Structure 1
Amino acid sequence: MAKSKKPENDNALPPMPDRRGMEGFMAGLFGGGRGSDPTDAAQDIMYEAWEATSRSKRITLARKALKVSPLCADAYVLLAEEEAGSVEEVLDYYQKGVAAGEEALGPDGFEEYAGRFWGFLETRPYMRARAGLAAVLWRLGQHQEAIDHYQSMLKLNPNDNQGIRYVLAGHLLARDDIKALRKLLKQHEDDGAAAWLYTRALLAFRENDPGAGKLAEEAWLAHSHVPGVLSGKQPLVASIDGYITLGGEDEAADYVDENGQAWQATPGAVAWLAEVTRKLKPRRRRN
């Protein structure tokens, strides 16, 4: 899942193009006669903004997009990420972004795309804004409201291209809402991400499940960095480009950042995980 970051300086060049900007290429391929509708025209400006290499240019383009159409949700997303000076401003921008996205799609859009959101480019700005809103609500302590947003987003897009389920699982674990967490884990039981495998192992350990050790082994074989990061023996390695590498040290750091507190709050869990995985060896790859 993408982690938004504010550049350190105005002309900071990102190590790779912003994937949101790449959607502009897709829009050009499949969008037909884009630009005739003000919302489409504003979104095209935002594709340019996502690719701009200076913060001031991105903000200027976002403001320009809103002048073309106040229903441009992505403009509010960018302003929340890069212009807002306080968490209250971030909240305000994301709220405006969600409202703009809802109006742009309209009731017919929600009915047409329900269950397939993100598969259509026109739904993505709304989904980005809503994910941002949920994140800031959680940060402000409005936990149930944040969870409600995440759960609604998964109904709109069960395929979960944004990785909402990983954030939600961590929040449910933090709130000890085990019933809801179990339901979520079951809905994606074949998921091989660290957030899934290690959370399943922790849940089994908490409940003295005899299969907990096996789950921990499976988790380690897929993502061996997590126990070391949890115990403090390995450093937290942040993502370089804002995107998580599956199986990488940055995924382990991201998992511990979101779920480490739940592990530390479970007596003996971190030591148990270290002991279970201490002598394990990676699977040999077949030629």
Structure 2
Amino acid sequence: MVLLVRIVPVVSWSFCAILLSIGFAVHDLKGLSSIPWQVVGSLFAGALLLQGVVAHAFNDHTDWKSGTDQKSPGILSGGSKVIPKGLYSERHLLLIGLAGIAASAGLGKYLSHLTSNYAWIFIAIGIWAAVTYTAAPFRFAYFPLVGEWLAAFPAMIACTLGTYFVLTGSLSKPVVWASIIHSLLCIAWLMQHHTSDIDADLQATPRKVTTVAFAASIWGKEVTRHITAAYFLMAAFVGIVATLSVHKIFIFSVFCGLMGALAAWNTNPHNIGNITYNQVKMIALTVLHTLVLFGFEVIT
């Protein structure tokens, strides 16, 4: 199960989204003592279930069945490897995914009891994203732009805003901006992640036409680094707007976005080692962005 969860994306995506909002909540509620830690524990458990178990179980099942995981040369991509290692079968992964949904719903009931029934809105978005990203018949990740905008991006927005809402009972302008920036940073390094698998994805049945795979099939792999950079630049642009309209701390978001774009531009899309090296830098930037904003909100 530990192998299936793939802790790096879970930490840099969902856990960082939760931590980011905890920082804003601590600031707005005037101290750590105001934070209901049983709610925080439920949020982290829910994120682990939905992204680490449900999303990854369905992802491994679909990508193995289509054949892309078998052909992937990626170091950090190509699934969790639980099927080729003989740990789980395709059927096991489906059952694990369904069990994860049931457990998430149970946790959602507990969380709504502790906080508000509005928590179900954010939980429903999380379940939707975890299922539709790769599970049939949706398989949003198998179409350009759809996977990131109809599944991944809404999930991160819901995770960030949902955390803040269940902790405070409201939403605030700064946390909305922070959620958008964090989500864009995550989507940006997801594009880098997909770059390793372009050839394998395009040979899959059905073809896994991610955004970068689609671009590479038309214009060649060289253009893929511009797609990754574009998402980082979007994060930087939102950071500029947030700096001017909300708080100067968001200038750090601009820095992270620009550094991520630089890593994308410096990527050799034909070299798996170089793709991975720059992906690790992008993941580090995403985590650092969360830690700096969290620390600032808690201290001030």
TM normalised by structure 1 equals 0.33
More helix by share: 2
TM normalised by structure 2 equals 0.32
Max radius of gyration: which structure?
Answer: 1
